[in-house]
Amino acid sequence: MQSWRWGELKTAFGWAVERVHVIHGGAEAFAQVLFRRRGPVSVAYVPRGPAIRGDAGIIFPFLIAALDHRCRERRAVVLILEPDGPLGLGGTYRDAGFVRGPARFQPGRTVIVPLLDDDPLLAGMHQKHRYNIRLATKRGVTVERAEPTDDALATFSELMRDTAGRNGFGIHERAYYDQFMRESGDDAVLVFARAGGEVAAGAMAARFGDRGVYMYGGSSTQHRADGAAFLLQFEAMRWARERGATSYDLWGIPEDDPEIARGVANAVTRSEGDDWRGLYTFKTRFGGEVVRYPLPMERRYHPVIYAVARRFGKVGGA
């Protein structure tokens, strides 16, 4: 989300982008900042960033000074950092001029799978996942890497709508998926799993540096017992490996394990469609490492205006 093309994608959907690069004392830092206008003011957001090389304690104050300048120019009421790992500041958020944000905008945890050769990759999975991948092949499920034509993107968008309606979550508009594929070029793939001549599931995956990422995916209500979703992810991992990635991010699991969340009202078992427990099980059984991201950091320039904006849902991520 700190990649150039992610910024270009967001500019097509109402965000303004500023890219800040500072070097000092043998260290350097980069932050891609997304600005969203909220009336006469704006919100500044750095998703999965900043990126720091060298001594964070040396470079961070210079980075923040540069970010403060950009935020003042764009009348930002708050700057939100949502790092992809510990920044190594050697102190608290407050020492660095930040407070802990009240809510995440990106998933708090994910699963990172090392992209080994096929045999060790399969061996690292839960036996039930290996079984489902082989079951899909046995039942004639096929996976194809599709060109992002209008028809293919329309099919994918319909899968997303079906899945969202079944499970009660929000999705992007069709144009967003189209733009994502255009911006990504050869560093993204659209894959479909077919069973019985019908599209059973679809996914978009991308490569960012040495990491493949499962970005978006959906499935139909038919053929769910054929293991199509398992074979689909396996093929997406193989594509990412071919593109030079050494790991694959399954992009988000629940904040707490199902055993911890059990008993919290509707936190695990939902009345509609798949539940959070199913999502957790599906992703964690591919054999990866569960990674927890740091909490968001907020630098509030205008606390009163910020409080009003958050109360009315005007503070959000990308």
CATH number at residue 15: 3.40.630.30
Both 170 and 301 in a single domain?
A: no
Average pLDDT over residues 14-25: 94
pLDDT at 85 over 70: yes
| pLDDT value of position 227 | 87
Both 188 and 47 in a single domain?
A: no
Average pLDDT over residues 210-235: 89
Residues sharing a CB contact under 8 Å with residue 305, sequence separation 6 or more, in sequence order: 41, 77
Half-sphere exposure at residue 241, Cβ-oriented, CA atoms within 13 angstroms: 13
**pLDDT confidence tier of residue 273, bands split at 50, 70 and 90:** very low
The mean predicted confidence, pLDDT, of the chain is: 87
Both 158 and 284 in a single domain?
A: yes
| pLDDT value of position 97 | 83
Euclidean distance between the first and the last CA atom of the chain, given in angstroms as a whole number: 9
235: left (phi over 0), alpha (psi -120 to 50) or beta: alpha
In whole angstroms, what is the distance from residue 100 CA to residue 92 CA?
10
Q: Collapsing DSSP states into helix, strand and coil, what is residue 62?
A: helix
Both 230 and 85 in a single domain?
A: no
Both 95 and 161 in a single domain?
A: no
Both 48 and 148 in a single domain?
A: no
**pLDDT confidence tier of residue 269, bands split at 50, 70 and 90:** very low
Domain hosting 256: range is: 109-292
